[in-house]
Structure 1
Amino acid sequence: MRKPIIAMILFLSLLSIPPANAENNILRSDTPYRHVVVPGDTLWGIASRFLNDPWRWPEIWGLNREQVKNPHKIYPGDAVILKRTPYGYRLSLEDPEDGIKTVKLSPKIRSELSDTAAIPSIPAAAIEPFLTQPLVIEKDGLDTAPYILGSSDNRVVLSTGNTAYISGLPNDKGSAWQIFRPGNALKDPDQKDRILGYEATYLGNAKASLFADVSTVTITRATEEILNGDRLVPSPDNIFNNYAPHAPDFPINGRIISVYGGVTEIGKDSIITLNKGKMDGLEMGHVLAVYRKSQAKSLDGETVQLPEERTGLAFVFRVFDKIAYALVVQSTHSIKLLDAVKTP
């Protein structure tokens, strides 16, 4: 009887001791050995429970490069466990036959998130408005798009629930439309004369009810004031791929060139625009470290560049040729325009 008791004590003591090898640099000191997924969890959030560096999720999950682009579907009720393997510690889904049974909800194909949908990489609500918007256009890219002529009661400003009349609305693009206004030029701060694209300002959604020479739409959502002359584009399908969070396997050295909302102080959950894109190798799911660029005055009045200080992490969720959009998932200090983003 004594040997089984001793064995059980040794087993329990091992569970309370963090791994004492090089993987200590990967695993948190307080990492759990099991986490049951609940609605609202994200891949990033679960990775943060186990890892010091959440972007190393594919490494500890044992994913190869292609699997990163199509990670295992994880659903509420699944249990993520940490276990020792011949290749080191690995995260995996618990097999009910190996021990405690896990309630696993059957996946269903749905257009919206639900308690039975696979959990996303990052909070969907934070980025949902940015997944289907063009955001970046060519110069004069909206000039030929249908536009708002006005309303029957001559409103100057249109908002949710108002009826609007549209010139040039085609009848073969569906009834769902988005409303935009041409925005500012996005310039590369490292090459002053280089324009990366033009931002389109998203104003809201509209649904067409009548197609004619002058078509009729109802504004179903307004995020800003909508005016005569604002342009309409068809609503595209959701294009977000649920990539596992991962660091680029090559050096990236970019900058933050704009922030959604026009603020100057950037923090967690802010949407930022980067001056790097597909042509630089960026892809959805890449995690980049943010570094503050600071200066100080020497005693003789000269400007001195201080060493860069890491201030946060950003998760890339949409990529264009020369530009990418990212969600700030962590910030230890305020982040500002022109701060650097690099491979962590």
Structure 2
Amino acid sequence: MAVKNKRIRQWMWAPMLAAGLVAVAGLAIAQEYRDGHPDTYVVQKGDTLWDIAGRFLKRPWLWPEIWQANPQVKNPHLIYPGDVLSLAYINRGPMTGAPIPGVPLAQVEPFLKDMRIFDRIDNLPYVVGLEEDRMRSIRGQAVYIRGLGASAQAGQRFAILRPVQTYTMGRRRACCALVGRDKLDYAGRRNDPPYDRTWTEIMLAEGGRMEKLGIEMRKVNAGVITRGEVGGIEAATLLLDDPSYEVRVGDKVVPVESIPYDLTFYPHPPKQQFPYQKAQVLAVADRDDIGGPRDVVALSVGARDGIDNGTVFSIWRVGTNAVDRVQIPERDRDLVGADGKVRLPDEFAGHVMVFRTFDKVSYGLVMDSIRPTRIGHELKHPDATY
């Protein structure tokens, strides 16, 4: 009887600590645990579901599959500090504080609220002037918007956006993906000094064809329309009420999203296997070209490729084509042909989970890593082995 109970306890392991196999009667999943896992764990303030799973399981990103086989937990995103997670059951302790999230929201919320990707921006309304002809305007001051037309009604809220980066895709005919970027000024014009690599674009399209993935825009402020285009005036008046950033002429204007993002993320693998060098890291937020755990990265795939929120990739450093110095000991690398080089294996770097998706680009959070994440790293199935 003791042996039977032990098997049941293994099968009923807490859902957010799932190992990645769908539990069915008679299936033991203990082999998926890390060595030395405890029988129970008390949820702490600051925990995330991914972090908890990562302490005890070899494949923490698959916890939702076991959760679905454990009906005693109605919602894995409503786990509270003080809850006791056990091999056999979840003991609901006093619900103190907020429920723990699937990802650390503090890291992703600025990108959920403030970053967007557009196919084009030349058709958007824009700031054409500022109150008292100022150079910049802040909260409590008026700005004047051209292009809203009759749609501008008093009381409507609009966000002020500024272009940051254009992402494009292209590919060298002879070999491999190119990495570059078109940084934009406030009006959306190219402003790309060669030494500035804060964000980047990646070019992947076949046959040398260039494709624009989208234009990255950052929210800088917001406000309410106080007067439309009336009495021969050709610009609507918007009163700024957001303390974030100063507004200047040329900034773009879009309606405020009522529900801009979803805070519930269920990790899952991509729906398809991508051709090599199709899915890559485009950029690392607020870094030159390198990032690590809890950094936001832009990815070269989006909704048109079947990517949605919660999609998990493994990140890989692409193996180099090294000169075989045993066979060719002296010749300069640039003079060695393909037959004199050896393709070295890709190297695993970590995992990234998508938290906001646009048509051709998505944003993800690096959840764990064993080496730095860099621009141009390859994205594969989360359980890829090479």
TM-score (norm. length: structure 1): 0.74
* Aligned-pair Cα RMSD in Å: 3.4
Match of 2:102 among 121, 124, 127: 121
Q: Contact conserved, 2:77 with 2:102, CA < 8 A, in 1?
A: no
TM-score (norm. length: structure 2): 0.67
What is the aligned partner in structure 2 of residue 152 from structure 1? 131
Give runs of ≥4 in structure 1 deviating > 6 Å: none
Judging changes above 3 Å, is the alpha-carbon distance between structure 1 residues 259 and 160 closer, same or farther for their aligned structure 2 residues? Answer: farther
What is the aligned partner in structure 1 of residue 169 from structure 2? 187
Q: Contact conserved, 1:196 with 1:323, CA < 8 A, in 2?
A: no
Is 303-312 or 179-188 further displaced after alignment? 179-188
Deviation string, structure 1 residues 143-185 (Cα, Å, up to 9, x no partner): 2322112323433344566543323442278325242326313
Identify, as 1 or 2, the structure richer in strand: 1
Judging changes above 3 Å, is the alpha-carbon distance between structure 1 residues 196 and 46 closer, same or farther for their aligned structure 2 residues? Answer: farther
Name the SS for the 2:237 alignment partner: strand
Q: Contact conserved, 1:132 with 1:235, CA < 8 A, in 2?
A: no
Judging changes above 3 Å, is the alpha-carbon distance between structure 1 residues 157 and 63 closer, same or farther for their aligned structure 2 residues? Answer: farther
* Structure 1 residue 130 corresponds to structure 2 residue 133: no
Match of 2:156 among 155, 174, 177: 174
Match of 1:298 among 303, 306, 324: 324
The whole-number CA distance in structure 1 between the counterparts of 2:270 and 2:214 is: 26
What is the aligned partner in structure 2 of residue 81 from structure 1? 85
Judging changes above 3 Å, is the alpha-carbon distance between structure 1 residues 134 and 171 closer, same or farther for their aligned structure 2 residues? Answer: farther
What is the aligned partner in structure 2 of residue 220 from structure 1? 242
The whole-number CA distance in structure 2 between the counterparts of 1:166 and 1:36 is: 53
Match of 1:336 among 354, 367, 374: 374
What is the aligned partner in structure 1 of residue 264 from structure 2? 242
Is 261-270 or 321-330 further displaced after alignment? 261-270
Percent of aligned positions with the same letter in both sequences? 27
Q: Contact conserved, 1:34 with 1:79, CA < 8 A, in 2?
A: no
Judging changes above 3 Å, is the alpha-carbon distance between structure 1 residues 83 and 250 closer, same or farther for their aligned structure 2 residues? Answer: farther
* Structure 1 residue 29 corresponds to structure 2 residue 35: yes
Structure 2: gaps (5+ residues): 11-26, 171-202, 230-235
The whole-number CA distance in structure 2 between the counterparts of 1:27 and 1:279 is: 36
What is the aligned partner in structure 2 of residue 103 from structure 1? 94
Q: Contact conserved, 1:57 with 1:246, CA < 8 A, in 2?
A: no
What is the aligned partner in structure 2 of residue 89 from structure 1? none
* 1:289 CA drift (Å): 0.5
* 1:215 CA drift (Å): 0.4
One-letter amino acid of the counterpart of residue 125, structure 2: P
Name the SS for the 1:220 alignment partner: coil
Q: Contact conserved, 2:135 with 2:248, CA < 8 A, in 1?
A: yes
* 1:211 CA drift (Å): 2.4
Q: Contact conserved, 2:43 with 2:85, CA < 8 A, in 1?
A: no
Name the SS for the 2:288 alignment partner: coil
Structure 1: gaps (5+ residues): 1-6, 16-20, 85-91, 97-101, 106-114
What is the number of equivalent residue pairs in this alignment?
300
